[in-house]
Amino acid sequence: MLEADLALILALDCSASVTFEEFGLMASGCAAALRHDAVIAGLLGGPGGASLCAVLIWSGVGAQDVVLDWTRLDSAAAIASFADDVENTPRSIRAGATALGDALAMCAGLLDRAPPARRWVIDVVGDGRSNQGIAPEIVRDRLVELGVTINGLCVLHEEPNLVANYRDEVIGGPGAFALWCETYQEFAIAMRQKLVMEIA
């Protein structure tokens, strides 16, 4: 298989602080971002003409699920189909604590079996700091050593200082950044901005 330009994991928080309505806004916001012209152009515009994407949902220790495995996005039609799948992503794990380090460890395993790609990015979405399991900075540092970039999108409706926590404990690697939105109602716009920055 030809090498893709980017392997991207969307890692979505499903802990107890995220209601079913808010999870729906996350899923639909990710799908809307993937359908945006600038995102489509970025996913297809590299030397390889293709990107890879997978979706992981996560909560407490032992509560992670790869709901969409690695999918090759090599045409507008493939992206449109994947966006539909993202929008209809089931919430398949129980709501629990916020085990960010365990979520990153699950992402590491997913990257281990990713098809060949020039660049690896983990896109962590959450509305709370880690409160269970492995310390996220431990896993973050191991991933950064392997050349992975971890970016964050923080929803600040419960923890106004979450961006500082993500910068200290979660994000890392080449060009890493954290964006934020105040509520889930603003999520789709923030996610689109984030994907445009990541893909570029």
DSSP string covering 110-149 = HHHTPPPBS-EEEEEEESS---SSS-HHHHHHHHHHTT-E
91 domain-assigned: yes
160-164 average pLDDT score:
95
CATH number at residue 110: 3.40.50.410
- pLDDT tens sequence across 74-126: 999 999 999 999 999 989 888 899 999 999 999 999 999 999 999 999 999 99
141 domain-assigned: yes
In angstroms, the CA 148 to CA 103 distance is 15
81 domain-assigned: yes
pLDDT(153) > 80? yes
163 domain-assigned: yes
In angstroms, the CA 168 to CA 163 distance is 9
Helices 20-35, 37-44: inter-axial angle, 10-degree rounding: 60
With a pLDDT cut of 70, the percent of the chain lying above it is 100
Torsion over CA: 174, 106, 134, 194 (sign):
positive
1 domain-assigned: no
pLDDT(200) > 80? no
120 domain-assigned: yes
Report how many domains make up the chain.
1
Q: Which domain holds residue 154?
A: 6-199
22 domain-assigned: yes
